[in-house]
A = this chain, B = another copy of it.
């Protein structure tokens, strides 16, 4: 029986920016996407040692193929929050990254969900095969 690999998760901490607040006086729903993106970029650099800048220099980028978000409670002006992300599965076609955003002051979940990422060639916009070496480096 093959074991499901268990991947590490990593946590980044950020603060809501005033321009993230919308007419309902809480963080705009699409902005949570950008928080996950920010966490992922930070963690690519500090946790995986493969900053997005390195991909970009080689002409590659990771882009979102599909996404699911489940909103629990909103973040508000000035809130500190954490974004925990981790790879759920990865293969040559791409990877699924799950995430959970928590409000720091009460440790309650703001939202969670997942993103499916694929690697693209930036010039052509076409999908690229994720190399075994990359898969290994992400499989921590």
Docked-complex contact A125 and B26, CB < 8 angstroms: yes
15 residue pairs A–B, Cβ–Cβ below 8 Å: A17-B37, A18-B34, A21-B22, A22-B22, A23-B23, A25-B122, A29-B33, A29-B67, A30-B30, A41-B77, A53-B77, A56-B77, A65-B71, A67-B67, A68-B68
Q: Is A78 an interface residue (CB 8 A)?
A: yes
Chain A interface, >50% SS class:
mixed
**A30 cross-chain contacts in B, Cβ below 8 A:** 19, 30-31, 33-34, 37
**A78 cross-chain contacts in B, Cβ below 8 A:** 41, 45, 51-53
Docked-complex contact B22 and A38, CB < 8 angstroms: no
Which residues of A are in contact with B by a Cβ distance under 8 Å? 17-19, 21-26, 28-31, 33-34, 37-38, 41, 45, 51-53, 56, 61, 63-71, 74, 77-78, 120, 122, 125
**A25 cross-chain contacts in B, Cβ below 8 A:** 23, 122
